């Protein structure tokens, strides 16, 4: 059976769109009172690092776990859009102990975007990502815990978790899972490269 090339892209986008990492411990409970996803709340409470068009009026927030391969795919898909949009990558600790240490390394790096590219390349090659000290500054560790609590308060249960304002509709949009560059551009309301 032969598929039309556009249909193949759509099917791949759908498959990647629902792809995300969730906790290995299936006993995770949802937040008692789910908080509305809010861009001002994320801007005020989350600690992340910026990549892309730093002067852009459109900021896209991405909650991610350094051990999530879907997050790595989203990082790669976002790279062509970084000329148009400012991304703030917010590390959380959800998958394993390496999540916190690698997240801390990214938050304290002199060039976090370059280190993130190195990390995601290693992770997607099956090499586990960057080496990071298990000794984490208590202040940075608390920031990652706070990021994780904020993520959980939205009722989110899989990463990457993207929150942004769609530039065409003006609406706040959120979604869990990786996307292709084209799907991400559409989700954000920007022209695909």
Query: Using one digit for the tens of pLDDT, what is the confidence trace for 13-67?
Result: 444 444 667 654 433 444 345 778 999 999 999 999 999 998 888 899 999 999 9
Write out the two tokens for 74.
């989203």
The burial class, CB within 10 Å (0-12 / 13-18 / 19+), for 8 is: exposed
Asked if the model's pLDDT at residue 132 lies above 60, the reply is yes
Q: What is the DSSP string of 169-190?
A: T--EEEEES---HHHHHHHHT-
pLDDT of residue 19: 62
Residue 155 region by backbone torsions, left for phi larger than 0, else alpha for psi between -120 and 50, else beta: left
Q: How far apart are CA 64 and CA 74, in angstroms?
A: 10
pLDDT of residue 82: 93
Contact 64, 159 (CB under 8 A): yes
Mean pLDDT of 141-157: 95
Mean pLDDT of 92-111: 94
CATH for 36-188, among 3.10.450.50, 3.30.930.10, 3.40.109.10, 3.40.30.10? Answer: 3.40.30.10
pTM: 0.84
Contact 59, 43 (CB under 8 A): yes
Any residues with CB less than 8 A from the CB of 145 and at least 6 apart, and which? 93
Contact 147, 63 (CB under 8 A): yes
Write out the two tokens for 24.
């290995």
Asked if the model's pLDDT at residue 153 lies above 80, the reply is yes
């Amino acid at each position: 059976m032969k598929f039309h090339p556009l249909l193949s892209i759509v099917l791949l986008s759908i498959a990647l769109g629902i792809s995300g990492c969730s906790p290995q411990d299936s006993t995770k409970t949802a937040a008692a009172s789910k908080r509305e996803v809010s861009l001002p709340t994320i801007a005020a409470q989350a600690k992340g690092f910026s990549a892309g068009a730093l002067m852009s009026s459109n900021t896209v927030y991405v909650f991610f776990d350094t051990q999530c391969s879907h997050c790595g795919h989203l990082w790669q898909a976002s790279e062509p859009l970084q000329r148009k949009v400012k991304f703030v990558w917010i590390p959380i600790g959800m998958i394993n102990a390496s999540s916190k240490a690698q997240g801390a390394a990214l938050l304290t790096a002199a060039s976090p975007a370059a280190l993130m590219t190195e990390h995601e390349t290693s992770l997607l090659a099956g090499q586990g990502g960057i080496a990071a000290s298990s000794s984490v500054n208590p202040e940075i560790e608390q920031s990652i815990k706070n990021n994780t609590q904020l993520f959980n308060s939205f009722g989110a249960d899989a990463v990457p978790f993207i929150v942004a304002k769609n530039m065409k509709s003006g609406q706040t949009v959120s979604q869990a899972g990786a996307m292709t560059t084209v799907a991400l551009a559409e989700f954000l309301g920007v022209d695909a490269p």
